[in-house]
A = this chain, B = another copy of it.
């Protein structure tokens, strides 16, 4: 069962939504809370399952809607890997993703500003990039120290 949002997170939600002329709804609160509760890059289906524990009537379409809304107002990021289901991530700091082939798990990798800078610098003149997506693909020794939730 998902805990309700902290004062601070509720405010963040409220602000971001208001900023693009949208409202806080019970569904959006729960979907957002689900994302914050376990930062394991859940799929829509994952979010749906988890959110339903708190709100059994919630529909899948609404989860899609909420997540799209959040992406639109900059509250969360989408993470795509090959053709797999889209995953969602409330970590807004610049970071790359590491996809563990063995487990399918996705880890955030902190991205130092100078790396971003040097990447931007390899673009030929005339190319202006707003976003850069970096994903590593390999294996990690997960078994040891694990900290998917926070």
Q: Which residues of A are at the interface with B, using a C-beta cutoff of 8 A?
A: 78, 80, 82-83, 86, 96, 98, 107, 109-112, 115, 118-119, 122-124, 126-141, 144
Given contacts A82-B80, A86-B83, A119-B115, contact A128 B109 (CB under 8 A): no
B135/A133 in contact, CB under 8 A: yes
A20 to chain B, nearest CB (A): 19
| Cα of A34 to Cα of B138 in the assembled complex, Å | 31
B133/A134 in contact, CB under 8 A: yes
Of chain B, the residue at the smallest CB distance from A137 is B131
| Cα of A98 to Cα of B119 in the assembled complex, Å | 12
Task: Please give, as numbers and ranges, the residues of chain B lying within 8 Å of A115 by CB-CB distance.
Answer: 118-119, 122
